[in-house]
Amino acid sequence: MAFQILLNLFIAFVWMFLKVSYDPATFFIGYLLGLGMIFLMRRFFRSRFYLRNVWAVVYLTLLFLYELLKANISVVKIVLKPKLDFHPGIFAYETELKNDWEITLLSNLITLTPGTLVVDVFEENGKTILYIHAIHVPDVDEAVEGIKNTFEKAILEVSR
């Protein structure tokens, strides 16, 4: 992916040299042309067309913000409720993610989602297990499903 971006920048500079004009507008046109070329030549690269990764990152950021807002509304509900009727606990969650940065990102996302907070991370014969403190344990299954379907998928999409 980094190679494709570098190639795209290179094509933009070649375009500037061809036009003998060195302003941002020319660079931008050259960059767009390079993008088109890389899109047409995409079957010669080992990784996929890089705009899809860029889109995945944008999607992940939006997801992050949305979940943060949701988490805060649920915290407000818990704090301002007259009765403290929740049942906290720590549960184990096994993730399929492999790289360190992916696991860090996932832990950060989990910490900022409604009702969950990462306590510790263990690695055991190739599997990574996150220990998560949940504010209301009866909701755990739902939370696990949510993490699996949204965050893990989004992170895998970025790193693919």
Partner 1 sequence: MTEILDIVVLVFILIGAFFSVVAAIGVVRLPDVYTRNHAASKSATLGVMFILMGTFIHFAAEDHTNTRLILAIVFIFLTSPVGGHLINRAAYYTGVKMWDRSVRDDLMERVGNLNVRSADGKNRKTDELKK
Binding string to partner 1 for residues 6 to 45, with x set by CB under 8 A, is what?
Answer: ----------------------------------------
The CB-of-64 to partner 1 minimum distance in angstroms stands at 8
Q: What is the dihedral of CA 59, 65, 67, 73, to 10 degrees?
A: -160
Of 79, 78, 50, nearest to 139 by C-alpha is 78
Q: Is 73 exposed, middle or buried (0-12, 13-18, 19+ CB in 10 A)?
A: exposed
- Per CB under 8 A, does 59 bind partner 1? no
148 Cβ contact partners less than 8 Å away, ≥ 6 residues apart: none
| Count of chain residues binding partner 1 (CB under 8 A) | 32
Judged by the rule CB under 8 A, the positions of this chain that interact with partner 1 are 68-69, 71-72, 75-76, 78-80, 84, 86-92, 107-108, 111-112, 115, 117-120, 122, 129, 131, 133, 135, 137
